[in-house]
Every structure is written in structure tokens, then in C-alpha cells.
Structure 1
Amino acid sequence: MTDSALTPDLLLHGYASGIFPMAESRDDPDIFWVDPRMRGVLPLDGLHISRSLARAMRRSDWTVRLDTDFAGVVDGCADRADTWINAEIYSLYGDLHHSGFAHSVEIWDENQMVGGVYGVTLGAAFFGESMFSRRTNASKMALAAAVDHLVQTGFVLFDTQFLTPHLATLGAIEITRAAYRRQLAEALEQNGQFGSIAPPTLQDVVQRMTQMS
């Protein structure tokens, strides 16, 4: 289903209903709603950090930031041969960010952003949209930092939309549409507080994840 008059409010209504928008490509002006039969989610107590990634995070001097360059994260996610982020989607998520419903978790090497993830928040649900990496492990570190921050600020659902082999290695799973809708309804009844505390250090993320496993 295409929708040439998509607004930020309609976009949020779609997320609350369990659907999300995509475009076929960067240059395709049409946007359609997606409602997968099987939904990808990342259990917030089930993130898998490999030994090599944990070691890299402990040794890293990179820093985690929240919402300091949201547009830059979306740019990074769209900077690939095949992308579903067209001009309208780019603009809509910018609007959601300015109204406090879209957020980014960023990995910085001094003054250079090397990876990040962005998504939409409603209630205690985080709808992960995309992530990117310009350095080895940077997107994985961003995802780990995002999960840690969501746990610390009261979120209960991390929606990954689809399950990719990459996400599966990090602990993401597939659940049925009906199961997803139940989890979503429960999450929308609660209130996460993204950004209410300082971003974690990578070393703190590893320590907390190790204690949870």
C-alpha cells in the first residue's frame, strides 16, 4: 500500500498499530506499509556479545553519544547501494526526531562518528530502523549501547522488524505477528524514558551484559 501523504502523526499511528513504512529504493517516491507475518525482535535480556566484541569494547576509547547527530546517523544508514530510505522517509524521521519520537545512539572516535543506530520510541517500545558502521564492530557496539540504555531507562521491547543473519548472531529472534502485537500492546502501556540518563561507556555496557548472561 502506498501513501503519498504520509505525516509524522500517521507514521506514529502505524508503529502503534504494528506496521512500518519502507520505500523500494532511494529514488522511488512511493512508500508502502509493511506488516511481516514473522517479526524480528531483540530480547533486551538476550543480547549476545561475542568474546572478541567484548574484548574490543573493554579496550576501546570510543565514546557513546545520544542524539548528537541524528541526521548523520540516518545519512550513514542510507549510504549504501541498496537502501529503503528515500527523501520523504529521511524528512519524516527528521521531523520525528525534532518532536522527540526518534533517537540515535552513536559511536564516536574523538570528533568522528564511526557507527550508529536509530529508531522510533513509543511508550516503552523502541522500533529499531537501521544501523551503520564505518569501522570494524562500530555498529555492533552501537547496538549494544542502545540495548543497555533502553534497559536502564525502562524500555521492554526492541523491534528489529526483520531477522537478518547478522542480527541473529547478536541474539535477535523471530516471533509471530500475533505474539508481536501482544508485546507491543504491553509496551505501549508503559513509559520508557530515552535520554533521561547519561549514555553508558562501552566498558559499563560489557560489564552489565556479562552480569546478565
Structure 2
Amino acid sequence: MSTCESFESNVTKKTNDAGDTAFKDGQDSDHGTDRADHTNYADCADPAESADCADPAESAYCADPAESAYCADPAESADCADPAESADCADPAESADCADPAESAYCADPAESAYCADPAESADCADPAESADCADPAESADCADPAESAYCADPAESAYCADPAESADCADPAESADCADPAESADCADPAESAYCADPAESADCADPADGADHSDELEDDVNINKIVKRMSIEDPEALEKVYNLIKSNSCLKYYPLLTPYHNIKKTIDILIKENYEHENTWCVHCDARFISQLFYEGFIPVASKQKSYQMENEEIIVVKENVLIPKLHYIRSCMHPSEIHISKKVKKKCKHFYVTINKDFDGVIKGIVEKHGHNWLYPFIQDEFKKIHNRSVTYKNVQLHSVELWYDNELVAGEIGNTVGSIYTSLTGFQRRNCAGTIQLCVLAKILEQQKFQLWDLGMLLPYKKDIGSKEIPMKEFFDKHRAFKHQHAEFKVPFTEKLNCSTLIKGPIPNEG
């Protein structure tokens, strides 16, 4: 039984196959003081400028933040355009992959293939060695153009083409992609997949390849999705219904871990680290300030998304845009100690014209970010929750949310929002309205963090401008080891003044004593 099938069998018996939209990759935001170049905020806030989305038309994850990470153009995608024309060939006579039995891309073995309308005549099935299902992404019927293919844009990343040579659909006609033999299937070869198995108790992805046994009962209740689903069905049925509808409407969500307030987040991270989880994204339907704070506390960078959900209303299918969080845990993290900041001569020369404040104009910074980048991942619903954390109307342990403002005369010319947990500061996103202002703001921020004894500055994904100021790449495990050590050390994010302070005082000289 597939991951999707087993999850759906636990959640509900409904069979609404209204559509197959996609999982946005958090609008591919870097969430670490986004600047478009070395001085401008980047990271897909503007997909046209992003280092990750250099060509939005080609990017498998960034082509359209509103659409699928796997379906660069849902209108064109053979697997996503229409649930009725599914890549699974619900109707072999009409399916985009099975329109012509002679061309069928899934016919691994003419004698056995479930997808060959006429196994005896299938041109692609005559030889299992030449199966069109990603045996060779460059020649595959589904992967003719890897840049365009919904599933093969990046064979190293694709959920279906992770290793074309070992594809569960292609490697051996006897070893079908449906995991007929979980002990042999390429999708089931490693219990590493259990970290994001929708139903660990039944999923073929969670079997033990050594003996085909099911080990889901060994998982503790607070990371066992079966137990969590059962609890949600009693305590939180509306959220569970939303989860079900989103999975039915966005098939890509099946391949990412679901997080809920009922999970032990720390244990979940440990599982993902152990299994070398590289996809970085998770997802959740709980978008309240307290859960966001909990995610901050554990080291996630939660960003907002809108996902299509097909629902029935008065016997008609309607499309609803659901609020969703995409908590990110970057496989490689950009971090530094604040004292490692590199400050250029240009910044030192220009900084005397600028002033810095902390938490003086949170709303103004939010407005500047939206003005510069659009709503991107900073949708109104997450803005509201961020404000609750910022003004401390909702609290969770030592998590706080701050704004940093850079002023030129009385004009707000740059700023960012970031969160603190103990002696860790995480830059989330920011903006600039004046040349070099963004770099000056970062350099001043580093000096404030250093003066206040912060031990770790988390900048999210590594980009060239971050490297230029001294940030380094560290792997996921090392990052979380540091995060768990430093979040218990006290540091207070403030500057010793009540109004504006000239940036040159921070960058060139000692910070004045308070009072």
C-alpha cells in the first residue's frame, strides 16, 4: 500500500479526487534577511531576481509560487493538469501517459505491465531495459526535457527520479513502483523514509527491507502519525479534515513530513537528521502564534503559503485557498558568530549618515518588506501571528520576535524582522530602499549581537551576499547541535539607548554605556 493510500485510509474514507494542485516551496524564500544582490534582499522574494529561481520559467520549485513545486506549469503537466488524466492512467484510453499504448511510458514489461493498453503491441515495453520511466531521464517519455518535466526537473531531487538508474518504475518490471515487494522496491529500500510516512503502520515506505516487517509500533506516540491522527480525530477534527483535503488536492504534500502541535518536534527533527532528510520542507495546517513560536524554539524557519483545496459544496466542486505553514530546516545552514562580521571600507565610510533602532517600527518594517517583495511568503495571516509574538500577547518559553530599523534622517531606508531564542538570533526577511542600506543594517546588527553576547547568528540559506559578510555553511546536524546548546543561554536583544544611534558609533567605536 502506498504512503498516500495508507494515510487516506486512516484519515477518512472520502474519495474526492477533484484536482491535483501543488505544494509551493515556501515561495522559495531564503528567510534570512533577503537581499537581491550583495546589498539587496534576495532569496526568491522576487522570483525574477532570486539566486534560487534564476529562471522562474524553468525552476521546478519557483516557477510559480502559487503552483506546484513539481508542476512548473500545471496546465501543461501530464501528471497534474487534470486529475481525470492522471499519470497513473485512471483511464488508459485518455491518460496523458497512456494516450497511445504504443507510446506508453510506464510499460516496463509487455507481459506484466499494468499500464500497457495492449502489452503485445507496446513500443516502449518490448524491452524492459528500455523502459521509458526514467531509466534515462534524457530519453524518457516523461523526462524528454528535464528542465520542463514535472517530476524530473532535477533527477537528484525528484520524488520519482531520485536515482534514475534505480527508479522504482523502471529498474525491473518485476519490481513495480507500487512496491509489490516492499523488501525489494527502490522506494521501500530504506526505513529512512519512515520519517515522513503518512501511515507508518501500513506504508510500504516504512517496511524493513531486511525482513519486510512493520516497525511503526516502535515509534513513540508523539511521533507516530497513526497515534497523532487518532488523537486529532478526537481533539481536532477540523484540522484533520483540512489535512485530508489538502493531500487529496495537492499530491506533492504526500512526500513531505506533516507537523502538528501534537508532535514532539525535537524528536521529529532527530528522525529527519538521522535519515539525512534533504528536502528541507515540512508542512502544517496549524498557523497560530503559539505553534509558530514553538517551531522557532526548535530551530525551524516557518513561512506562510496558500494551497488549493478542492471541496464539495452543494454538490459542486469549489476551490478554497487554505492557509498553510511551511516550516523549513535547511539541509545546509548559513550561520556565523557575530564577531566574524566582515565590514567593508565602503560601509565604514557611509555608515555615519545612518541611524539604527530596535523594535521602534515593527509595522513599518513589515510594510517595507511587502512593498519591496509583495506578500511572497509574508501573507497577512502570518503577519497577524507575528505581531502577536512581537507584542508578546502570545508567548512561548524564551522566544521573541523583533524588528531592526535603519534610518536616513527620518526616513526608514532598510530593516528586517528576526527572532531570538536564548543567545541565538535568526534573520527572517528584510528590505532596503537605499543603495548600501541593507549591508549597513546587517553590519550594525552584527555589532549589536556581539555586544549583547549572542553566540549564533542564523541567516538561513547561504547566498553570496551573506558569504561576503562572513557567514559560513554548516550541515543540519551541526546547526541543531549549536541551536540546542545556545538557546538555553541568556542574551537580551537591545541597544543601550532610547532613541536612534549613529551607525558609525557601533561600527567604528565602542557602544556608549546606558544612561
Is this a same-fold pair by TM over 0.5? yes
**What secondary structure sits across from 1:114 in the alignment?**
strand
The offset of 1:208, in angstroms, is 5.0
The equivalent position to 2:507 in structure 1, one of 200, 206, 210, is 206
* Amino acid across the alignment from 2:504: Q
Residues 22 and 33, structure 1, Cα contact 8 Å, conserved in 2: yes
Conserved in 2, the CA contact under 8 Å of 1:28 and 1:86?
Answer: no
- Deviations, residues 104-140 of structure 1 (Å, cap 9, x unaligned): 1111122210111220111111111012110011111
Q: What is the deviation of 1:201?
A: 2.8
Q: 2:289 & 2:408 partners in 1: Cα distance? A: 32
CA-atom RMSD, angstroms?
A: 2.2
| Aligned-partner Cα distance in 1 for 2:369–2:467 | 19
8 Å CA contact 1:105, 1:116 repeated in 2: yes
- Does the alignment pair 1:111 with 2:403? no
- Report the Cα offset of residue 78 of structure 1: 2.5
Q: What does residue 259 of structure 2 align with?
A: none
Aligned to 2:290: 9
What residue number does 1:64 align with?
A: 356
Question: What is the CA–CA distance in structure 2 between the aligned matches of 1:81 and 1:196, rounded to whole Å?
Answer: 30
1:30 Cα offset (Å): 2.3
CA distance in 2, matches of 1:175, 1:208: 31
SS at match of 1:30: strand
User: 1:178 deviation in Å?
Assistant: 0.8
Task: Check whether the contact 2:286–2:324 (CA below 8 A) recurs between aligned residues.
Answer: no
| Pair 1:172 & 2:471 matched | yes
In structure 1, what is the Cα distance between the partners aligned to 2:284 and 2:414?
Answer: 31
- Greater displacement, 16-25 / 67-76: 16-25
Mapping for residues 31-46 of structure 1, pairs under 5 Å: 31-46=325-340
**Count of aligned positions:** 206
Map 1:43-58; keep pairs closer than 5 Å.
43-57=337-351
Aligned with residue 378 of structure 2, among 65, 81, 85 = 85
Structure-2 change in CA distance of 1:160 and 1:42 (3 Å): same
Contact 2:389–2:401 under 8 Å retained in 1 = yes
Kindly provide the CA deviation profile for residues 138-175 of structure 1, in whole angstroms up to 9, marking residues without a partner as x: 11111111111111112111111111112111111110
What is aligned with 1:161?
460
How far apart in 1 are the matches of 2:438 and 2:422? 25
Look up the equivalent residue of 2:385 and give its one-letter code.
L
Distance 1:5 1:24, change over 3 A: closer
Conserved 8 A contact 1:144-1:205: no
Are 2:358 and 2:495, in contact at CA under 8 Å, matched by a contact in 1? no
What TM-score do you get using the length of structure 2 for normalisation? 0.38
Contact 1:117 1:139 in 2 (8 A): no
**Contact 2:420-2:426 at 8 Å conserved across structures:** yes
Secondary structure at the aligned position of 2:458 is classed as strand
Moved over 3 A (4+): none
User: What CA distance in whole angstroms lies between the structure 1 residues aligned with 2:304 and 2:287?
Assistant: 12
Identity within the alignment, %: 21
SS of equivalent to 2:489: coil
Q: Does 1:184 align with 2:483?
A: yes
Q: CA 1:208 to 1:186, structure 2 compared with 1: closer, same or farther past 3 Å?
A: farther
Note the residue ranges of structure 2 that are not aligned, 5 or more in a row. Answer: 1-281, 307-320, 393-398, 511-515
Q: Structure 1: how far apart are the matches of 2:465 and 2:367? A: 21
The structure carrying a bigger strand percent of its residues is: 1
Distance 1:123 1:37 in 2: 23
Partner in structure 1 of residue 262 of structure 2? none
Which has the greater radius of gyration?
Answer: 2
Counterpart for residue 130 of structure 1: 429
Equivalence for 1:22: 303
1:151 paired with 2:450, answer yes
Report if aligned partners of 1:42, 1:173 keep a CA contact under 8 Å in 2: yes
Whether contact under 8 Å (1:153, 1:197) holds in the other structure is no
Are the aligned partners of 1:124 and 1:157 in contact in 2 as well (CA < 8 Å)? yes
Query: 1:82 deviation in Å?
Result: 7.3
Output the CA distance in 2 between the equivalents of 1:103 and 1:148.
16
Mean alpha-carbon deviation: is it higher for 127-136 or for 189-198?
A: 189-198
Contact 2:338 2:455 survives alignment (8 Å): yes
Give distance in 1, aligned partners of 2:452 and 2:322: 37
CA distance in 2, matches of 1:102, 1:184: 17
1:23 and 1:97 map into 2 onto residues whose CA distance is 17
CA–CA separation in structure 1 for the residues paired with 2:346 and 2:501:
20
CA gap 1:42/1:130 in 2 versus in 1, 3 angstroms: farther
Q: Which runs of 5+ in 1 are unaligned?
A: none
Greater share of helix residues, 1 or 2? 1
Cα drift, residue 39 of structure 1: 0.9
Q: In 2, Cα distance between the equivalents of 1:14 and 1:82?
A: 21
State the TM-score, normalized to the length of structure 1: 0.88
Q: CA deviation at 1:66?
A: 1.1
The higher relative CO (CA closer than 8 Å, separation ≥ 6) is in 1
